[in-house]
Chains A and B, each alone.
Chain A
Amino acid sequence: MNYDKSLIRNFSVIAHIDHGKSTICDRILELTETIEKREMKDQILDSMDLERERGITIKLNAVTIKYNADDGKTYIFNLIDTPGHVDFTYEVSRSLAACEGALLVIDATQGIEAQTLANLYLAVDNDLTVIPVINKIDLPSARIDFCREELSERIGIDGDSAIPVSAKTGQNIKEILERIVSDIPAPSGDNSNPLKALIFDSYYDSYRGVVILIRVKDGKVKVGDKILLMRSGASFTVTELGIRTPKEIPTRELNCGEVGYLCAQIRDIKDVDVGDTITIFDNPAKEPLPGYRKIKPMVYSGIYPTDSRKYGDLKDALEKLCLSDSSLRYEPETSQALGFGFRCGFLGLLHMDVVQERLEREYGLDLILTSPSVIYRVYLTDGSVINLDNPSKMPDLTLVKQIEEPYVKAQIMTPEEYIGPIMQLCQDRRGIYVDQQYFDATRRVLVYKIPLSEIIYNFFDKLKSYTKGYASLDYEISDYRVSDLAKMDILLNGDVIDALSSIVYKKDAYKKGLKLVSRLKEVIPRQQFEVPIQAAINGKVIARADVKAVRKDVLAKCYGGDISRKRKLLEKQKEGKKRMKMVGSVELPQEAFTSILDIGEDKD
């Protein structure tokens, strides 16, 4: 097909989790016959099994679509799918930077959520044209007029312009396509200018090396061009270009406004920074594209193989995983209790979960993850400052002047009736009240500053359960504040287990210590001998519980028919045991290491 910039539309889809983004994308792919019906799987852009199973989008994904519009012309759409969870806001900003427009999907039964709002602001920041779409109108509880009003009054987008659709039945999907044609501007820039192509994602392919996804913002790029990555300074020769439909179709060149992939025999993924600008080595652009803020992990945790001999396998797996997950950070660390492993940085707890599951599933590893921690700033008496991402590395108290912890600015959107319980929850989590706004007639937005550590320990689940799922949360790191914190150690059989140490707020320490030891008692299976579990601060024991010894563990009846069944049962238990970690003489299940996450659960 001939290149005509005026026929290109680049857009992404933003939505709150569960509002039907992936289903809308599916319908668009179907309607444009990008994917034939027989090849169609649900949520086609969610390519990982994990994404399909959980119904969430984790990785962004781009696809080129051909659309024969009512005006008789054939348009090229580049659809860039985005993740909807707060952990992955960063990836959203990457895809938005590559587009001129965005579909804003709202669930007709739920209205606008905090996440939608946050992503919408990102879109507006990027000067994107926003087309509001009200989805799930087939449901009896759909409130289309209410959503229109909300759009006009709360966000200032013309609510009447919103397209009511049902991704489930396919109703009005075609109108979305027409509106993309009429509302979203064609890309600017010109083929004759020096090349500026934005790298918005990359992954590793063992045959071709690093595959880069780019949006050409200005100029054009051809196979054989010598390119320069403007920030990293690395240069390569382009060996392959193409578009994804989502099958890869090689092309000779990518022109201004187009979205596609680029290969250049790049062997090391570290040479490619997502957000960097590609230009032509001999005719470089004057300055790179603005790019976007560098990713910073918020949550850290140690990852260890259950079987210490698998350290090498874990290392390989992490290396490979990083090729397709550029937001994951890791470096080696050692633990007395767990041996050799890695300290890993994640965008949030969901991200941590996803990484763990991918490592276990795609690489067949059994892993122990230690309690997630935030980065504390520890000021020492000698004037130096440590950024502490591992509680067990806390220096001796006599050397510590003060400790600061990261706070987030949390925006909680909730129906009015839950304001009370939410404020209580925020206070329990050491939140500082900032503001309260009316969002509409029935909903408010509460703004709090809350320590990040309190957010990662179960805050979201609690919030959901307090509000029957109605409240939504968005947060961003705001600042560091001095807190009265201490390291709490856990002792098993009298030995400190470094992997179980955590940083706690001193005033909560007794309560937390008690809860933690009783939680550990629950999750640690009975052992051959009784094992005391103690929580201690500064060497002083503040709580204790005992794991009992096994007293009776034998099948009462074992006759002809029971024998094979018994063996299979033991086989299963044996596999379960293999997943436990021997720490000293005690066998610990994975749950033991993350029990600090669960202790917020109990009712006080």
Chain B
Amino acid sequence: MIKTNKKKINSLYIHIPFCKNICPYCDFVKFYSNKSWENQYINRLIEDLDEVKKKFKKFKTIYIGGGTPSILSRENLINLLDNLKDLRRKKCEFTIEANPEDINDEFLRILKKYKVNRISIGIQSFNKNILKEIKRDYSIDYFELINKVKKYIKNINIDLIYGFKGQTLEDLNKDLDCFIKLNVNHISIYSLIVDEGSIFYVKKYSEQDEDSSRKFYDFILDKLRKNGYERYEISNFARKKKYQSKHNLNYWKNKEYVGIGLASHGYIGPYRYNFTKSLSNYLNKTNLIEKEEVNSKTMKEYFFLTNLRLKDGFKLKDYKKTFKSDFIDDYKTLIDELVKDNLAKITKKKFYFTDDGLIILDFILIKIFNF
């Protein structure tokens, strides 16, 4: 085989836009699942994957997200996974998102066979009333389910959401207890956002007020820490460093990634791009891609808005390498101010936000951008 000048990029994202139910908080591009669309879509994805194979080296991380990848038919799932075989590096973190009600032995067996080694399960809440409100199955025994998953895949993430209308701190505490009992290594816990494009938005569902949201967040941080989970990103906690999501860390370190599929995003320097949100356009390859060229100014903004989400912030030498100047020289007075107010810390090696800083990250980012 001839070694070509294929580009080396760490991560590959594949989007599956189909769902059985539309969750009222979700603003992603999604469609009610439909056999014929699904078949066409997977075939179309595979065409794009062939292109990816020609242009890029194998990936360190692959992530199949959605939508709901777990509702793909057995044939389509196998077809897709089979086509990803040649895109995995040896030690590849290979994640798939799944809905609890789709998880069964057969599904897990297929994943295992195709070396999917991480699974992200959208549980959202263990509270029956909340599950009803967000139109999810509330008859599942999660303890049993997770034990079943563990037989096939060790690396499990659970998604939870907080900040529903009427939810009390006590409700939240119970949800966290349920999660802790499951004994998995990773959790993503998000405050409910009512985004344009979601059913909640149309229904004018109101988000939790800022002060309670902060109270809930502090509670979560404290409780998860006490139970051995370390927050490494605003909404992500892992028991050990090795359980942190390498795929997502790649985003947060502002590194390149390839995105494939309807409405997926990618970053192949110097462009950030996204695929069309229209299924027919995607299938017919019309108006397929929009892209934005990252320039030196926006590069800085991307660098800060991603890296500073991480508990460890960024390495000063990475800043220097990227921007050819010294971070401390560039932002001296602002750094002093942030450090004085205990919002950030700076060491010889890195710059990062404290707990107090992280929780008002966007507020501080504006200051940095306007500096």
In the bound complex, how far is the Cα of B363 from the Cα of A553, in angstroms?
A: 6
Complex contact B370–A566 (CB within 8 A):
no
Chain B residues lying within 8 Å of A548, measured Cβ to Cβ, are 211
Residues of B within 8 A of A (CB): 13, 28, 190-191, 193, 210-211, 213-214, 217, 234-235, 248, 251-252, 257, 259, 263-267, 272, 274, 292, 298, 301-302, 305-306, 309, 341, 358-363, 365-366, 369-370
Of chain A, the residue at the smallest CB distance from B291 is A564
Chain B residues lying within 8 Å of A557, measured Cβ to Cβ, are 190, 193, 235
Of chain A, the residue at the smallest CB distance from B341 is A528
Chain A residues lying within 8 Å of B211, measured Cβ to Cβ, are 548, 551
In the complex, which of the residues B234, B252, B274, B302 contacts A554, with contact meaning CB atoms closer than 8 Å?
A: B234
Does any Cβ of B come within 8 Å of A560's Cβ? yes
Kindly provide the distance from the CB of B213 to the nearest chain A CB, expressed in whole angstroms. 5
Chain B residues lying within 8 Å of A560, measured Cβ to Cβ, are 13, 251, 257, 259, 264-267
Chain A residues lying within 8 Å of B210, measured Cβ to Cβ, are 526, 550-553
Complex contact A550–B301 (CB within 8 A):
no
Of chain A, the residue at the smallest CB distance from B188 is A557
Does any Cβ of B come within 8 Å of A567's Cβ? yes
Knowing that A528-B363, A551-B360 are A-B contacts, what are 11 other residue pairs whose CB atoms are under 8 Å apart, sorted by A's residue number? Answer: A551-B213, A551-B214, A552-B210, A554-B362, A556-B191, A556-B235, A557-B235, A560-B267, A563-B251, A566-B305, A570-B305
Does any Cβ of B come within 8 Å of A571's Cβ? yes
Given contacts A552-B213, A578-B370, contact A563 B302 (CB under 8 A): yes
Given contacts A563-B265, A564-B265, contact A577 B370 (CB under 8 A): yes
Complex contact B361–A553 (CB within 8 A):
yes
Chain A residues lying within 8 Å of B366, measured Cβ to Cβ, are 570, 573-574, 577
Complex contact A570–B365 (CB within 8 A):
yes
Complex contact B360–A559 (CB within 8 A):
no
Chain A residues lying within 8 Å of B251, measured Cβ to Cβ, are 558-560, 563
Chain B residues lying within 8 Å of A566, measured Cβ to Cβ, are 305
Greatest chain B CB density within 10 A among A528, A555, A574, A578 is at A555
Complex contact B369–A570 (CB within 8 A):
yes
Of chain B, the residue at the smallest CB distance from A570 is B365
Chain A residues lying within 8 Å of B361, measured Cβ to Cβ, are 553-555
Q: What total count of A-B pairs have CB within 8 Å?
A: 100
Of chain B, the residue at the smallest CB distance from A564 is B272
Chain B residues lying within 8 Å of A564, measured Cβ to Cβ, are 265, 272, 274, 292
Does any Cβ of B come within 8 Å of A561's Cβ? yes
In the complex, which of the residues B28, B265, B292, B362 contacts A570, with contact meaning CB atoms closer than 8 Å?
A: B362
Chain B residues lying within 8 Å of A559, measured Cβ to Cβ, are 248, 251
Chain A residues lying within 8 Å of B363, measured Cβ to Cβ, are 528, 550, 553
Complex contact A550–B257 (CB within 8 A):
no
In the complex, which of the residues A555, A571, A577 contacts B301, with contact meaning CB atoms closer than 8 Å?
A: A571
28 contacts between A and B (CB under 8 A): A528-B360, A548-B211, A551-B210, A551-B359, A554-B234, A554-B309, A554-B361, A554-B362, A555-B193, A555-B234, A555-B361, A555-B362, A556-B190, A557-B193, A557-B235, A558-B251, A560-B259, A560-B267, A561-B28, A561-B263, A563-B265, A563-B267, A567-B305, A570-B362, A570-B365, A570-B369, A574-B366, A577-B366
Residue interface mask A535-561, B partner, CB < 8 A = 1: 000000000000010111111111111
In the bound complex, how far is the Cα of B248 from the Cα of A264, in angstroms?
A: 72
Kindly provide the distance from the CB of A418 to the nearest chain B CB, expressed in whole angstroms. 34
Residues of A within 8 A of B (CB): 526, 528, 548, 550-561, 563-564, 566-567, 570-571, 573-574, 577-578
In the bound complex, how far is the Cα of B217 from the Cα of A551, in angstroms?
A: 10
In the bound complex, how far is the Cα of B370 from the Cα of A578, in angstroms?
A: 8
Chain A residues lying within 8 Å of B341, measured Cβ to Cβ, are 528
Q: What 6 A-B pairs have minimum CB-CB distances, sorted nearest first?
A: A551-B214, A556-B190, A552-B214, A561-B265, A554-B361, A553-B363
Kindly provide the distance from the CB of B339 to the nearest chain A CB, expressed in whole angstroms. 14
Complex contact B360–A558 (CB within 8 A):
no
In the bound complex, how far is the Cα of B366 from the Cα of A179, in angstroms?
A: 64
Kindly provide the distance from the CB of B312 to the nearest chain A CB, expressed in whole angstroms. 16
Greatest chain A CB density within 10 A among B193, B358, B360 is at B360
Greatest chain B CB density within 10 A among A556, A563, A573 is at A556
Given contacts A561-B263, A564-B292, contact A556 B302 (CB under 8 A): no
Kindly provide the distance from the CB of B56 to the nearest chain A CB, expressed in whole angstroms. 16
Of chain A, the residue at the smallest CB distance from B163 is A556
Chain B residues lying within 8 Å of A574, measured Cβ to Cβ, are 366, 369-370
Chain A residues lying within 8 Å of B235, measured Cβ to Cβ, are 556-557
Complex contact B365–A556 (CB within 8 A):
no
Chain A residues lying within 8 Å of B301, measured Cβ to Cβ, are 567, 570-571
Complex contact A556–B234 (CB within 8 A):
yes
Kindly provide the distance from the CB of B302 to the nearest chain A CB, expressed in whole angstroms. 6
In the bound complex, how far is the Cα of B358 from the Cα of A401, in angstroms?
A: 57
Of chain A, the residue at the smallest CB distance from B217 is A552
In the bound complex, how far is the Cα of B361 from the Cα of A558, in angstroms?
A: 12
Greatest chain A CB density within 10 A among B259, B266, B358, B359 is at B359
Kindly provide the distance from the CB of B364 to the nearest chain A CB, expressed in whole angstroms. 9
Kindly provide the distance from the CB of B61 to the nearest chain A CB, expressed in whole angstroms. 12
In the bound complex, how far is the Cα of B361 from the Cα of A401, in angstroms?
A: 54
Kindly provide the distance from the CB of B97 to the nearest chain A CB, expressed in whole angstroms. 11
Chain B residues lying within 8 Å of A561, measured Cβ to Cβ, are 28, 259, 263-265, 274
Complex contact A567–B360 (CB within 8 A):
no
Kindly provide the distance from the CB of B322 to the nearest chain A CB, expressed in whole angstroms. 16
Complex contact B306–A553 (CB within 8 A):
no
Kindly provide the distance from the CB of A222 to the nearest chain B CB, expressed in whole angstroms. 60
Kindly provide the distance from the CB of B29 to the nearest chain A CB, expressed in whole angstroms. 9
Greatest chain A CB density within 10 A among B210, B248, B267, B292 is at B210
Of chain B, the residue at the smallest CB distance from A527 is B363
Complex contact A553–B274 (CB within 8 A):
no
Kindly provide the distance from the CB of A562 to the nearest chain B CB, expressed in whole angstroms. 8
In the bound complex, how far is the Cα of B89 from the Cα of A182, in angstroms?
A: 94
In the bound complex, how far is the Cα of B365 from the Cα of A573, in angstroms?
A: 10
Chain B residues lying within 8 Å of A526, measured Cβ to Cβ, are 210
Chain B residues lying within 8 Å of A551, measured Cβ to Cβ, are 210-211, 213-214, 359-360
Chain A residues lying within 8 Å of B292, measured Cβ to Cβ, are 564
Chain B residues lying within 8 Å of A578, measured Cβ to Cβ, are 370
Of chain B, the residue at the smallest CB distance from A566 is B305
Kindly provide the distance from the CB of B171 to the nearest chain A CB, expressed in whole angstroms. 18
Chain A residues lying within 8 Å of B217, measured Cβ to Cβ, are 552
In the bound complex, how far is the Cα of B251 from the Cα of A395, in angstroms?
A: 61
Kindly provide the distance from the CB of A475 to the nearest chain B CB, expressed in whole angstroms. 42
Given contacts A552-B360, A556-B191, contact A563 B234 (CB under 8 A): no
Chain A residues lying within 8 Å of B257, measured Cβ to Cβ, are 560
Chain B residues lying within 8 Å of A571, measured Cβ to Cβ, are 301, 369
Kindly provide the distance from the CB of B320 to the nearest chain A CB, expressed in whole angstroms. 22
Complex contact A558–B309 (CB within 8 A):
yes
Complex contact B298–A567 (CB within 8 A):
yes
Greatest chain B CB density within 10 A among A550, A554, A577 is at A554
In the bound complex, how far is the Cα of B3 from the Cα of A446, in angstroms?
A: 92
Chain B residues lying within 8 Å of A563, measured Cβ to Cβ, are 251, 265, 267, 272, 302, 305-306
Chain A residues lying within 8 Å of B302, measured Cβ to Cβ, are 563, 567
Complex contact B298–A558 (CB within 8 A):
no
In the bound complex, how far is the Cα of B359 from the Cα of A526, in angstroms?
A: 14
Chain A residues lying within 8 Å of B13, measured Cβ to Cβ, are 560
Of chain B, the residue at the smallest CB distance from A551 is B214
Kindly provide the distance from the CB of A426 to the nearest chain B CB, expressed in whole angstroms. 39
Of chain A, the residue at the smallest CB distance from B363 is A553
Given contacts A551-B214, A553-B360, contact A558 B306 (CB under 8 A): yes
In the bound complex, how far is the Cα of B176 from the Cα of A234, in angstroms?
A: 86
In the complex, which of the residues A554, A558, A573 contacts B359, with contact meaning CB atoms closer than 8 Å?
A: A554
In the bound complex, how far is the Cα of B248 from the Cα of A555, in angstroms?
A: 15
Complex contact A554–B358 (CB within 8 A):
yes
In the bound complex, how far is the Cα of B183 from the Cα of A7, in angstroms?
A: 99
